[in-house]
């Protein structure tokens, strides 16, 4: 494959998947890269073989490009705008990440058990602290309420 075929296949693989600016930048980059390597003494076919398959390069460019066009996302956006609702883009360029943590190890179970015990201890400490503040106030308040009740009942007679 020669330079023109390589650049043509790369352009075809990128068209419709990324913006024209990204296509121009990458075509220019690979054209310059091939020219520089030829100036260094390498043959055109060897340089292109070293670069690799233009479709694979195009896929890598699509995956790393921030303005890559996702055909399914475009269909959803069109459907949402027709229905009157808005479409929010996911964070980090639409790529969601899922992290999996294996919690089946004994030390994770121990840590989880200690965390539960600590939380229960804190809840009980807060509740007993609240009661320790309220209990000394309950008896005087009840005593005052009883006195007021007796005074009102005596004055009604």
User: Does 28 map to a domain?
Assistant: yes
User: Does 154 map to a domain?
Assistant: yes
Tens digits of residue pLDDT in 68-97: 555 554 444 444 444 444 444 445 555 556
Provide CB contacts within 8 A for 55, sequence distance 6+.
9, 13
Tens digits of residue pLDDT in 41-74: 999 889 999 999 999 998 888 888 776 555 554 4
Of 33, 54, 83, the last residue of a domain is 83
Q: Are residues 22 and 73 in the same domain?
A: yes
Q: Are residues 19 and 65 in the same domain?
A: yes
The parent domain of residue 140 ranges over: 103-157
Span 7-18, average pLDDT: 89
35's tokens? 């020219």
This prediction has a pTM of: 0.44
Q: Are residues 73 and 19 in the same domain?
A: yes
41's tokens? 């003494």
Task: Please tell me the total count of domains within the chain.
Answer: 2
User: Does 111 map to a domain?
Assistant: yes
* Cβ atoms of 58 and 17 closer than 8 Å: yes
Q: Are residues 7 and 38 in the same domain?
A: yes
Q: Are residues 26 and 62 in the same domain?
A: yes
pLDDT > 70 in the chain, percent:
76
Provide CB contacts within 8 A for 27, sequence distance 6+.
7, 10, 11
3-state secondary structure of 18: strand
Please report the pLDDT score of residue 28 as a whole number.
93
User: Does 97 map to a domain?
Assistant: no
């Amino acid at each position: 494959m020669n330079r023109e075929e390589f650049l043509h296949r790369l352009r075809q693989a990128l068209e419709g998947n990324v913006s024209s600016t990204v296509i121009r930048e990458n075509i220019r980059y690979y054209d310059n890269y091939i020219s520089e390597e030829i100036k260094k003494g390498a043959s055109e076919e060897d340089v292109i073989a070293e670069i690799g398959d233009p479709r694979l390069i195009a896929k890598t460019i699509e995956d790393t490009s921030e303005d890559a066009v996702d055909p399914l996302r475009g269909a959803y956006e069109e459907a949402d705008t027709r229905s009157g609702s808005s479409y929010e883009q996911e964070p980090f360029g639409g790529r969601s990440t899922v992290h999996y943590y294996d919690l089946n190890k004994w030390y994770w179970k121990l840590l989880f058990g200690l965390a539960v015990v600590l939380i229960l201890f804190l809840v009980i400490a807060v509740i007993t602290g609240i009661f320790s503040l309220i209990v000394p106030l309950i008896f005087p308040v009840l005593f005052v309420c009883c006195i007021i009740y007796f005074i009102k009942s005596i004055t009604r007679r």
